[in-house]
């Protein structure tokens, strides 16, 4: 685990809900990448991601992208849009494989 992951506490495993996951990802993106343009679809995008992957895998992807990769994925900053379903094969699945390999 990187030192960066110690700076922003993640929700407890048993307490991860759609809402806490959404709040955590938005806070981590702001902490790591700085302020972002508003994305009014954030709750739907992040909630959908949570529903597709489940709480543990969703948190693993978030931590891998924002802590281990420093908020950059394939030379581009991580934003809420990376969590869209169309990005799963390019973004989420490779990061989840990395997290599980550790």
Contacts of 48 (CB under 8 A, 6+ apart): 83, 84, 85
* Cβ–Cβ < 8 Å for 66, 32: yes
* Cβ–Cβ < 8 Å for 64, 95: yes
Considering the chain, what is the average pLDDT of its residues? 90
Mean pLDDT for 4-33 is: 79
Residue 57 tokens, joined: 């895998």
Q: What's the pLDDT score for residue 15?
A: 84
User: Which tens digit of pLDDT belongs to each residue from 59-80?
Assistant: 999 999 999 999 999 999 999 9
Q: What are phi and psi of 77, to 5 degrees?
A: -65, 150
pLDDT band, very low/low/confident/very high, at 2 (cuts 50, 70, 90): very low
Q: What's the pLDDT score for residue 14?
A: 61
* Cβ–Cβ < 8 Å for 99, 64: yes
């Amino acid at each position: 685990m990187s030192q960066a992951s110690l700076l922003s506490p993640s929700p407890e495993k048993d307490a991860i809900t759609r809402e806490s996951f959404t709040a955590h990802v938005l806070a981590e993106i702001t902490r790591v990448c700085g302020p972002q343009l508003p994305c009014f679809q954030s709750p739907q995008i992040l909630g959908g991601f949570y529903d597709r992957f489940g709480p543990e895998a969703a948190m693993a992807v978030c931590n891998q992208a924002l802590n281990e990769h420093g908020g950059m994925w394939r030379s581009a900053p991580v934003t809420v849009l990376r969590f869209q379903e169309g990005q799963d094969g390019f973004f989420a699945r490779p990061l989840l494989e990395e997290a599980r390999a550790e």
